[in-house]
Amino acid sequence: MTYQETLDFMFSQLPMYHRIGAAAYKADIQPTIDMMEALGNPENKFRSIHVAGTNGKGSVSHMLASILQEAGYKVGLYTSPHLVDFRERIRINGEMIPEQEVVDFVATHYPLLTTHSLSFFEMTVGLAFDYFAREQVDIAVIEVGMGGRLDSTNVITPLLSVITNIGLDHTQFLGDTLEKIAREKAGIIKDGVPVVVGETQPETAPVFRAVAAAHAAPITFADQHYVVDDISRYTEELTGEYQKKNIATVLEAVEVLKHLSPFTSHLSPAAVRQGLARVVTNTHLQGRWQTIGQEPLTICETAHNEPGIRAMLGKLSTMSFRRLHLVYGCVNDKDFRHILQLLTSQFSVFNFHFSIYFTQPSVPRRLPVADLVSAAHEMGIEGDAYPNVKEAIEAARKGAAPDDLVLVTGSIFLVADALA
């Protein structure tokens, strides 16, 4: 098979949850366990850090990988979803996995992958862990896909577990309260393995403390030790206000790692400083308050749930612009009515003059723009409809003055389309 034929095969076996939603979700980790055994348990052949959370887990994973890279380690990085290129999910020292590695893995293990009816995500985890083991990475930073307890990545026993925060997202799978979701995320906590939690939330902290105690896992809360007031002290590459909490989480994780073992004891202040300063350069993190155009300033932001949207609004409130042009689209299992109400009400609070350009991401799981516009109009929210992100952005930029702001948000896949 060619590289594209290989990707088509992987996508078609059990399609990506991120693309089609609930039909692709498998609440069972046993197939991954069986796959790892057949592959010779590559997950046991490299050190790892496991990162879960509702928001920020991608940014925290990239920051940790960048710091470890600056410290001289050979660092694997597994994240999801990808924005433009599938190979973004699997990197070593910032370099994407070669296409031939993807082809060879599927060709070599084709009977295993088909006999066990493995999903796209399960195959990708197998590919990543096999690649990291064969390339003999010193350490890999592994981002959870969804939840934690039943996520395919949860076959590792890491040096450190990190849980960034808890919000109401994927409630149909993880539970409809913060406590229930926290218990699913806490499923990555392992016996005796230290855990860093980013935020002390009254609903979730007791859950994490109880699960950590049951596993004799030392637990610390980052926000009890670090408060980041000025992002520019740490990095000019990431500017979203929510990165303050992510940076605090990373600083606490590094502090725990430094005292964990001789292997990680030499994480120097210089490596931390340079790793945070160069995170985009080192790991190619995309979509987090990313500038894609000037005059008018045009920004992409992957915020797609209430905590992420509120953090984004905090950043907006610090900026100066004449008018805001919002390009918005989402997937069909998000509470978009609540998000739209939150956005427009806060725009009014901040006295923003704004226009909305409704569109849809190019994935089967998209909310059709006609449905989005119809619901918005019922709520008294006006805006024009565009069939794709490209046309929506072009219309927004054409209608904007040089000192206006164009913001593309609502879905990771909307941002992916914008970057593509």
Question: If DSSP states are collapsed to H, E and C, what string results for 309-334?
Answer: HHHHHHHHCCCCCCCEEEEECCECCC
Return the closest-CA partner of residue 199 out of 311, 300, 301, 118: 311
Structure tokens at 420: 């593509």
Residues in contact with 126: Cβ distance below 8 Å, sequence separation at least 6, in sequence order: 32, 35, 36, 39, 105, 109, 113, 118
Instruction: Please give the pLDDT value at position 169.
Output: 58
Digits of tens for pLDDT over the chain (420 positions)? 999 999 999 988 755 554 444 454 556 799 999 999 999 999 999 999 999 998 899 999 999 999 999 999 999 999 998 998 999 999 999 999 999 999 999 999 999 998 888 989 999 999 999 999 999 999 999 999 988 898 999 999 999 999 999 886 555 566 568 999 999 999 999 999 999 999 999 999 999 999 999 999 999 999 999 999 888 889 888 877 778 999 999 999 999 999 998 999 889 999 999 999 999 999 999 888 899 999 999 999 988 778 788 888 988 998 999 999 999 999 887 788 999 999 999 999 999 999 999 999 988 889 999 999 999 999 999 999 999 999 999 999 999 999 999 999 998 889 999 998
Residue 163 sits in the same domain as residue 89: yes
Residue 179 sits in the same domain as residue 324: no
Residue 245 sits in the same domain as residue 138: yes
Q: Which CATH number belongs to the domain containing residue 354 in this structure?
A: 3.90.190.20
Q: Indicate the number of domains in the chain.
A: 2
Domain that holds residue 174: 3-283
Out of 283, 316, 351, pick the residue that ends a domain.
283
Residue 181 sits in the same domain as residue 44: yes
Q: Give the pTM.
A: 0.89
d(CA 308, CA 312) in angstroms, rounded, equals 6
Out of 230, 251, 283, pick the residue that ends a domain.
283
- The answer to whether 152 touches 178, Cβ cutoff 8 Å, is no
Instruction: Please give the pLDDT value at position 24.
Output: 47
Residue bearing tokens 């609440």: 27
Return the closest-CA partner of residue 13 out of 162, 158, 121, 173: 121
- The answer to whether 141 touches 75, Cβ cutoff 8 Å, is yes
Residue 366 sits in the same domain as residue 259: no
Q: Which CATH number belongs to the domain containing residue 146 in this structure?
A: 3.40.1190.10
Residue 136 sits in the same domain as residue 221: yes
Instruction: Please give the pLDDT value at position 15.
Output: 52
- The answer to whether 244 touches 228, Cβ cutoff 8 Å, is yes
Instruction: Please give the pLDDT value at position 170.
Output: 53
- Count the neighbouring beta carbons within 10 Å of the beta carbon of residue 159: 18
Residue 239 sits in the same domain as residue 365: no
Residue 244 sits in the same domain as residue 302: no
Residue 315 sits in the same domain as residue 405: yes
Out of 283, 314, 347, pick the residue that ends a domain.
283
Residue 296 sits in the same domain as residue 342: yes
Residue 198 sits in the same domain as residue 100: yes
Structure tokens at 179: 């406590």
Residue 92 sits in the same domain as residue 167: yes
Q: How far is CA 325 from the centre of its chain?
A: 25
